[in-house]
Chains A and B, each alone.
Chain A
Amino acid sequence: MNMNPEERETVCKCGQETEEQKYERLDQVIEIYKSKPGSLIQILHMAQGIFGHIPSELQEYIAGKLNMPVAKVHGVVSFYTHFSMVPKGEHTIQVCMGTACFVRGGKEILETLTDELGIGVGETTPDGKFTLEVTRCIGACGLAPAVTIDNVVYQMMDSNKIKQVLKNGEFGA
């Protein structure tokens, strides 16, 4: 993403900041964007970066700052799978359910993951390590079935391979 210096300030520093500091950074973001029409999604994107998720109170705060119905903010947050209203795990696993991945076994991979992790889609493991999601086509049909973990693509998966990935415990680039 093409970031200006102020935007760069909004990358996630979860866990290192107090709530107050997070709200301060959010205020800076809102200040930059609030006069630009159609900037709600960008602000929410930044807010999720700062807070890790966008709970009701944060939606209300943003709506108040933008002088916008909170239901409208909630409509956008709930529309996009990218936004989460609950805290996410340390790692986000997304199983592709696009047509190619689905027919080549995406569903079995998902079942394996729900069994292994003991959670359903959209949920986070009690230890806070993993969040499991499904996603529409990620454009890697040639590598189907595909899974992403923290935005890194794991290609041509099957039940055993994905178990192995989890076991290795090293994620990301």
Chain B
Amino acid sequence: MINLTIDNKKVQGQEGQTVLQVAEANGIHIPTLCYMEGVHENFSCRICVVEVEGMRNLQPSCSVKAAEGMVVRTNNEKVLSARRTIVNLMLSNGAHNCLSCEKNGDCQLQDAAYELGIEAPKFILKSENDPGIDDSSPMIIRDNRKCILCKRCVIACNKIVDNDVLGLAQRGSETVVVCDTDKPMGESSCVQCGECVQRCPVGALIEKKSVGKARSWETTKVRTTCPYCGVGCQLNLHMKGEEIVKVTGVEGAQPNDGRLCVKGRFGYDFIYSDERLTTPLIKQADGTFREASWDEALDLVANKFKAIIAKYGPEAVAGVSCARSTNENSYQMQKLVRAVFQSPNIDHCARVCHAPTVSGLMKSFGTGGMTNSIQEFANTKLLFCIGTNMTEAHPVASTFVKNGARNGAKLIVCDPRRHRLADYADIFAQMKVGSDVAFLNAIMNVLINEDLYDKEFVRDHCENFEELKACVMKYPPERGEEISGVPKETIIEIARMLGTVKPAMLIYTLGITEHTCGTDNVISVANLQMLLGNIGKENTGVNPLRGQNNVQGACDMGALPNVLPGYQSFTDPAVNAKFAKAWGVDSIPAKNGLMIAQMLDGLLDKTIRGLFLFGENLVQAEPDIAHVEKCMAAAEFLVSTDIFMTETTRFAHVILPAASWCEDEGTYTNCERRISRVRKIKNAPGEAKPDWWIFKQIAKRFGHEWASNSAREIWDNELAVLCPSFAGVKYYRLDGDGIQWPCPSEDHPGTQILHKDGNFTRGKGLLVPLEWTPPAEVPDAEYPFVLSTGRRLYHYHTRTQTGRAKGLNDLLPEEYADISDIDAGRMGIADGEKIRVWSRRGSVEVTARVSERIQPGLVWMAFHYREGNANWLTNKAYDRVTMTPEYKACAVNISKL
């Protein structure tokens, strides 16, 4: 603690703080235009100058460290005069037209001028060159005439989000902020994350979508959670009436500290689309839909399900819940299926992504969630990223990994594609698709043979080591190389780095899970981290990045065929009785239900006759579209609740219009188990209703009266009561950064790190010996390429939302097939040319993207558009444990058109 005097006031500060920080903390305002907490490294604006007794010149308070006994004056005439000159010079240079500027009222230069009593610029400076306006990018307008060269945007781009696009060019009075080599932003490597816009103190960088929408003082801010990936970024929605004018990240908040990606910042306007479903629809005999009242539609749904259950038994009906929607809605859906329909058949789309994570980590550790937290990425010493293209799929999480690498952490990236993150890596291992178990076994082989594993941790906290050892001894680095294609020297180098640099975090995504051996792959990464003792401590752990905003939550809610909410077992009589009592029934079906793929096949063979789809676009998202459509067409009765017509709703007999994100209260749980609030800012369009209400109304028609009448009541009165791991989570506690489960009581702060000190949920960690198995379909003479699939930065899944957000279609207007430059050269295919890609299931025509980042023999595609969708080609082969489809590997052929 140090004591100093600022403006005759005695104040205290911490050792190492700057004068600016001490002043701020003590409520003394010092203006600044370039300061950014945490990453401040440029002292360029100079308006934060103060007078410090005993120092000759005025000092920038952002760089001068506070010292014991220091006497500081922040507002005497000498200081104010200096500030006036600086602000006058800034105002005199360029074109600061406050009258029509989007930043008017929210501009820090304007504020500084106001504080200093500057009515009009004092000087007239003639600019040599007019930089003009750059509106070449879909989301951001750059107006360098208003730029004051504070460099915040440059530091934001290079040091916060590490996208490395913006820089300063030229010199002296011609200094200018540029993208890459002074390209228009729309032609540069910019990914439109908008961090620069959020950090700009003036109107030099603004959101294109927001122009003309509102003056800053007309808006109010509402905090909510992003509706896209599983990172769960906290957003401030800037509202004017019912309209979102713009979105900014919540600075200082977990998990994103103000950072957002292009979808989170600019992908919000789908909720206002004219294509929203506004009324229940019933399919007529001729196949078209007619509008219906809620009563008619709900009666029809209830009567049809009642009839099917009466005739064929409860197991002839099934429900698919939604990982895009809230916890409360998923909870309500599984309650409808289990308690009201008395069917065990409830599943959701974690089945097609991270079901192996839940099952694998449950087996290894006893809890199926990310063990550590996103904030730790920036602080650890080693980051091992396998099967995760996170700069595109989890952009904000990737910024913390890049920060970590810049802070000196070692970065190992293992992937079939040399994706963007590999550019930051110390070691990049370009593996063959589907070789993970062999590759990881070979690493563990070296760790054990070279005595580099954590013997103490293994001895005290793990079981089954000898069995694991016997297995990995069959995978020397030579065999690892033979199967994975990664040189044995690299395998040894990775093992030695892992063995010597601690702590280390392992991060993975769907490159691990979407295989026939998906659960094995998950267990394999768990084996590795246990062997290294990297579990139960800060900056360690097994960290799966979940794909959807609430896929963790939908699993937690028991929208899975094998567990009840909170991963409780329906076969435990006490648990079953507890839920039965709470839900007003005699018992809950005590058997595992069907998984999505089995439900679809069930539609064909008539074991499933009634299917309730909640917000799922299965036709586009499941493997082998032709097969899925055949199943859908065979459905006896299909209900779909959704916010838009999709490829899947075409097959429904009844479509129920739902409230979307922003139209109801609720919670999402992100991949680090953080339960965060989602807030209502507008009413749903037309007669659309929240999903929990829809499920409640159907239950009512079955004679069940559900008490809870809001998301809050559902959580506080049902979930917190029924699930020990959420017992301490109540809405009144969720206003800020939410709570990470497990949280057993209301005085518990939540759990950042699981399995603390090696105390695994299951007791000891289980090391499981695993043999490598190849993908179900491997290349042959007829289909010599491997197809691997996933999502790209600018769209989300089947585009029902991002396709209706202005600008995102411009950034990614169609599907592409990424192929290697070597294959392209051999086959005479040029970048941008149309090619045909076909498999044993189907054929598509798609534009080729030729890239040196793709290994020869690999084709990579996404599933955003119906035309050229990868799922016309993908294989209906499934993970042996969880039936997650093998989206990452099937055999295809390609030809030039």
A window 143-173: CB within 8 A of B? none
A72 to B424 Cα, complex, angstroms:
16
Nearest CB of A to B195, in Å: 15
B window 174-194: CB within 8 A of A? 178-183, 189
Tell me whether A91 is interfacial, beta carbon within 8 Å.
no
Q: Is the interface of B mostly helix, strand, loop or mixed?
A: mixed
A72 to B168 Cα, complex, angstroms:
7
The reply to whether B181 and A70 form a contact with Cβ atoms under 8 Å apart is: yes
Residue in contact with A59 in the complex, picked from B166, B168, B181, B189, CB distance below 8 Å:
B181
The reply to whether A78 and B170 form a contact with Cβ atoms under 8 Å apart is: yes
The reply to whether A71 and B169 form a contact with Cβ atoms under 8 Å apart is: yes
The reply to whether A69 and B168 form a contact with Cβ atoms under 8 Å apart is: no
Residue in contact with A79 in the complex, picked from B170, B179, B423, CB distance below 8 Å:
B170
Tell me whether A34 is interfacial, beta carbon within 8 Å.
no
A67 to B411 Cα, complex, angstroms:
14
Nearest CB of A to B753, in Å: 33
Residue in contact with B179 in the complex, picked from A60, A71, A72, CB distance below 8 Å:
A71
A69 to B155 Cα, complex, angstroms:
12
Tell me whether B164 is interfacial, beta carbon within 8 Å.
yes
Size bracket, chain B contacts: 10 to 19
Residue in contact with A74 in the complex, picked from B169, B423, B424, CB distance below 8 Å:
B169
Write out, one digit per residue, whether chain A residues 64-92 have a CB within 8 A of any chain B CB (1) or not (0). Answer: 00010111111100110000000000000
Tell me whether B165 is interfacial, beta carbon within 8 Å.
yes
A85 to B164 Cα, complex, angstroms:
21
Residue in contact with B182 in the complex, picked from A67, A69, A72, A74, CB distance below 8 Å:
A74
The reply to whether A70 and B180 form a contact with Cβ atoms under 8 Å apart is: yes
Nearest CB of A to B137, in Å: 15
The reply to whether A78 and B182 form a contact with Cβ atoms under 8 Å apart is: yes
Tell me whether A56 is interfacial, beta carbon within 8 Å.
yes
Residues of A within 8 A of B167 (CB): 69-72, 74-75
Q: Which of B167, B179, B424 has the most CB of A within 10 A?
A: B167
Nearest CB of B to A9, in Å: 27
Given the known A-B contacts A71-B167, A74-B167, are A60 and B158 also in contact in the complex, defined by CB atoms under 8 Å?
Answer: no
Residues of A within 8 A of B181 (CB): 56, 59-60, 70-71, 73-74
Nearest CB of A to B897, in Å: 29
Q: By the criterion of a CB under 8 Å from any partner CB, how many residues of chain A are at the interface?
A: 13
Tell me whether B171 is interfacial, beta carbon within 8 Å.
yes
Chain B residue with Cβ nearest A78 = B169
The reply to whether B165 and A69 form a contact with Cβ atoms under 8 Å apart is: yes
A56 to B171 Cα, complex, angstroms:
18
Given the known A-B contacts A69-B158, A69-B164, A71-B164, are A79 and B178 also in contact in the complex, defined by CB atoms under 8 Å?
Answer: no
Residues of A within 8 A of B189 (CB): 70
Chain B residue with Cβ nearest A67 = B423
A79 to B180 Cα, complex, angstroms:
14
Nearest CB of A to B417, in Å: 17
Residues of A within 8 A of B166 (CB): 71
A60 to B183 Cα, complex, angstroms:
12
A89 to B179 Cα, complex, angstroms:
28
Residues of A within 8 A of B179 (CB): 71
Residues of A within 8 A of B183 (CB): 56
A70 to B166 Cα, complex, angstroms:
9
Nearest CB of A to B305, in Å: 58
A74 to B180 Cα, complex, angstroms:
7
Nearest CB of A to B419, in Å: 15
Residues of A within 8 A of B169 (CB): 71, 74-75, 78-79
A78 to B170 Cα, complex, angstroms:
5
Residues of B within 8 A of A71 (CB): 154, 164-169, 178-181
Chain A residue with Cβ nearest B424 = A67
Nearest CB of B to A74, in Å: 4
Write out, one digit per residue, whether chain A residues 103-124 have a CB within 8 A of any chain B CB (1) or not (0). Answer: 0000000000000000000000
Chain A residue with Cβ nearest B163 = A69
Residues of B within 8 A of A60 (CB): 180-181
Chain B residue with Cβ nearest A57 = B181
Given the known A-B contacts A67-B423, A69-B158, A79-B170, are A74 and B165 also in contact in the complex, defined by CB atoms under 8 Å?
Answer: no
Residues of A within 8 A of B164 (CB): 69-71
Nearest CB of B to A75, in Å: 5
Residues of A within 8 A of B171 (CB): 78-79
Residues of B within 8 A of A69 (CB): 158, 164-165, 167
A95 to B167 Cα, complex, angstroms:
30
Residues of B within 8 A of A59 (CB): 181
A56 to B154 Cα, complex, angstroms:
19
A55 to B475 Cα, complex, angstroms:
49
A78 to B154 Cα, complex, angstroms:
16
Residues of B within 8 A of A73 (CB): 181
Chain A residue with Cβ nearest B170 = A78
Nearest CB of B to A85, in Å: 8
B window 221-237: CB within 8 A of A? none
B window 188-204: CB within 8 A of A? 189
Chain B residue with Cβ nearest A70 = B180
Residues of B within 8 A of A67 (CB): 423-424
Chain B residue with Cβ nearest A79 = B171
Residues of B within 8 A of A70 (CB): 164, 167, 180-181, 189
Nearest CB of A to B265, in Å: 21
Residues of B within 8 A of A72 (CB): 167
Top 9 nearest A-B pairs (CB, nearest first) are A71-B167, A69-B164, A56-B181, A78-B169, A74-B181, A75-B167, A70-B180, A79-B171, A78-B170
10 contacts between A and B (CB under 8 A): A69-B167, A70-B180, A71-B165, A74-B169, A74-B178, A75-B167, A78-B169, A78-B170, A79-B169, A79-B171
| 9 further interface pairs, Cβ-Cβ under 8 Å (given A71-B167, A75-B167, A78-B171) | A56-B183, A69-B164, A69-B167, A71-B154, A71-B164, A71-B166, A71-B179, A74-B169, A78-B178
